[in-house]
Structure 1
Amino acid sequence: MIGLAPAASAHVRLSATDAAPGGYGLLTFRVPTESDTATTTEIVISFPKDTPITSVSTAAVTGWTATVVTAKLDKPIRTDDGPVSSYVTRVDWKADSGRTAIPPGQFGLFNLTAGPLPEAATVAFPTDQHYSDGTVVHWNQLQTGSAEPDHPAPLLQLASEATTSPSPSPAAASPAGSNSETLAVIAIALAAAAVVIAIMALLRTRRAD
């Protein structure tokens, strides 16, 4: 998918709505062409080595070809499906021709699913952006202060289940409390009925007199 790129968003960005530590998520890389004269022809996304990700699946992008590159792990990882001996080192997207490259002033969206994701708050995915004039922009700088670097690495924010799961309602958290309230209401109703019956009996007695 290609669209117009606002000037304020002229960096490679990464977003995900369902990514959590230890799980799988859909990652979307937003790649704008900053050059005024050249097109974006290739995107190379590097994956972390210290916290390896073993499974990646790329979404089809019209006019682009994706290649998932893997390497052998020093020690296999045990999973529910058995041991895994390799991890993903990078994903390479290349435009099939100049006609499908990302023109100046526009951006492309590149989606992939990845996991299991590291048990971390954030994960950086350094990205190399190749232009038709031979220029390569390395989006690999990590932010260390309040100011964003010139070429920040796309950063994945991982939300823990503890922060994303809704808090239980008071009724759900304390069923015993709900039962007590119900019994109290019934008791009040019975007491009111007893008062009414007593008043009616008193009135009948006076009429009889």
Structure 2
Amino acid sequence: MKKTSWVSKLTSAMATGAAAFLLFSGLASAHVTVNPSVAQTSAWQTYTIKIPSEKELPTTKITLKIPEGVAFKQYQPLSGWKITTEKNDSKEVTSITWEIDGDNQGILAGQFQQFNFVAQNPKTETEVAWDAFQYYSDGSIVEWTGQPGANSPHSITTISEDPAAAGNAATGGSSNGHDSAGTAGTATGDKASDTATDGKKGNDDTTLGDALSDTVTGQPNNTDSDAGTLKLQQATLIVSILALIMSFLGIALATRRKKR
């Protein structure tokens, strides 16, 4: 009888741990991010903000603060979303808001949405923090304004004269060139070839037209996932199955002990 009791307790503990791991995995992947994370000084940049749903409620609005030194220029319209901006006394855009419009239900559980906009980066090397505010249908707000490592961290973009080198340093030397970092406005033709061959820094005279030409056409409530997200989903599914099996085993052992 003592052996059965010990096994039952161990099984219950394993099931609890598995459930806790599952919950942590789901929350850890639910950060609002602004990409690219590394960009060229002075360049006209196409930025993409990605908003996942971290609750079992639809996200109905997202507000993004434009960091000081970043000059917001244009946003990409998207069906089902009303887009507005706020300006200061100098007519500079200080924030942009995407809010559901018409029959759009918002970003549902298990979905994410991406929004694109163009801005000009600061002229000097720096780090810019993107504070975001995520609104849910029940009126609750998640403030993505914390420092890295916080429960709700803001996204950070490193503005560098050499974004390829800065990207390599951030990823421990992995390949992360100008294009992979998502920097808009890469020069075309011979100029781009010369830049790659000589190993010089990215061009500073990127035009607004170049940035706009790199804008990705978005779709409302995009549910596509990248490879990392798919692996996480597979891992959480396996953990869920194991937790369910452990729970049933614990119940069976507990029932057997009562009968004895």
Shorter-chain TM-score above 0.5 = yes
Q: Which blocks of at least 5 consecutive residues in structure 1 are unaligned?
A: 1-5, 74-85, 170-209
- The answer for the alignment partner of 1:60 in structure 2 is 77
Rounded to whole Å, the distance in 2 between the matches of 1:116 and 1:10 is 27
Following superposition, which runs of at least 4 residues in structure 1 exceed 6 angstroms of deviation? none
Compute the TM-score of the two structures, normalised by the length of structure 1.
0.61
The one of 100, 103, 112 aligned to 2:108? 103
What displacement does 1:87 show?
Answer: 1.6
- Name the SS of the counterpart of 1:158 in structure 2: strand
What displacement does 1:138 show?
Answer: 0.2
- The answer for the alignment partner of 1:34 in structure 2 is 54
Look at both structures and tell me which one has the larger radius of gyration over its CA atoms: 1
Which structure shows the bigger proportion of residues in strand conformation? 1
Q: Verify the 8 A CA contact 1:19 1:26 in the aligned structure 2.
A: no
The percent of aligned pairs where both chains have the same amino acid is 26
The aligned runs of 1:23-172 (5 Å cut-off) are 23-36=43-56, 38-49=57-68, 51=69, 53-73=70-90, 86-97=91-102, 99-117=104-122, 119-143=124-148, 148-161=149-162, 163=165, 166=196, 168=198
Which structure shows the bigger proportion of residues in helix conformation? 2
More divergent stretch after superposition (149-158 vs 93-102): 93-102
Q: Verify the 8 A CA contact 2:47 2:117 in the aligned structure 1.
A: yes
Q: Verify the 8 A CA contact 2:125 2:160 in the aligned structure 1.
A: no
Amino acid at match of 1:93: W
1:30-67 deviation digits (Å, cap 9, x = unpaired): 1001111x100000001124x2x333211122200111
Q: 1:41 to 1:47 in 2, by over 3 A?
A: same
Rounded to whole Å, the distance in 2 between the matches of 1:154 and 1:17 is 8
Aligned residues: 145
Q: Which blocks of at least 5 consecutive residues in structure 2 are unaligned?
A: 1-24, 166-177, 179-194, 200-260
Q: 1:10 to 1:109 in 2, by over 3 A?
A: same
